[in-house]
Amino acid sequence: MVAMCPDEDARREILRCLLDSIAFAERIAPGAWAVTLFPNGFRLNVGPVEALTCVCESWPFPNSENGPPILKILTQGAIPESMVSASAREADELEIRPANYKSVALPQHAVAMTADDAVRLREWFDELRDAHHQYIKLALQTPSGRARTNTAFKRTHSPGLVEYARAVCEQPTEPSPPIEGADEPASDGEERPEYFEGRPISIQTTRYERRPAARRACLSHHGYLCAACGFSFGRTYGAVAEHYIQVHHLNPVASIGFDAAVNPVAEMRPLCANCHAVAHFRSPPYSIDEIKAFLNQEPNHE
């Protein structure tokens, strides 16, 4: 998920959309939904059909020069006029197409949107939420109108992705009915329970703009080795990842002020995902030298 969507706010918003859809499906038909993880994204299926899909076509290891992840949301009924207008206005970012799944009444639509802007994604998803929930509701009903009790996709269900989404979105975990067969029994013979919840929590965030040109200038000068540990994606994974590394602002973007000038050579450094995460374990971030000191300390074997 981090490689597919490097922007933390956008990644959290994608996962919030997923959890919102799961929560609604769980209330109607526990056990009749599943999340399938792919190398380049994931898909939520409800009953026999897809309901929400997020993929990155530029996988593996997207960077600022590749396309952003695409979030596709299935809806039933009329599309809000505000979304129709937004699609006409931002055709490169938002596309509405007819859909035709037999399990759901027409009209259906598949709404595809770029998912690199958390604020915009939240606005669009909230506009589509009622129509999306209506699609899920119909997909979870049998032809006789009863709630479905199963889905063929639970054999590929990824509980780890759901747990990760809840951790990222800081949602509490409470017991609820498990999805039968979604996971193998524990090695000690006891059943391993699954926990499903997803009460939507509204969180307002501010996204600070980052310029791709500044990233390119930083990497052109400093190269693609991690400035803290020396890790090279290219040496480890080969040509497919030789031009990937995260870029760290020595002074956090949120603290430098509105539309401030940034010197990519002096104020930015390439960091691998591990070192970048450690840098932000506190605010203000740990320095490069402090991270190097962590790496050089004696291991604790207790």
What confidence tier does 280 reach under pLDDT thresholds 50, 70, 90? confident
pTM (predicted TM-score): 0.57
pLDDT in tens, 233-247: 999 998 888 888 889
pLDDT in tens, 32-69: 999 999 888 999 999 999 999 999 865 444 444 456 89
pLDDT in tens, 79-102: 999 999 989 888 888 999 999 999
What pLDDT is recorded for position 240?
84
DSSP the chain: -TTT---HHHHHHHHHHHHHHHHHHHHH-TTSEEEEEETTEEEEEETTEEEEEEE-TT-SS--TTSPPPEEEEEEESPPPHHHHHHHHH-TTTEEEEEE--TTSPSPEEEEEEE-S-HHHHHHHHHHHHHHHHHHHHHHTB-TTSPBP---GGGGGB-HHHHHHHHHHTT---------TTSSPPPTTS-----------------PPP--HHHHHHHHHHH-SB-TTT--BHHHHH-GGGTT--EEEESS-GGGS-TT----HHHHEEEE-HHHHHHHTTSSSPPPHHHHHHHHHSPP---
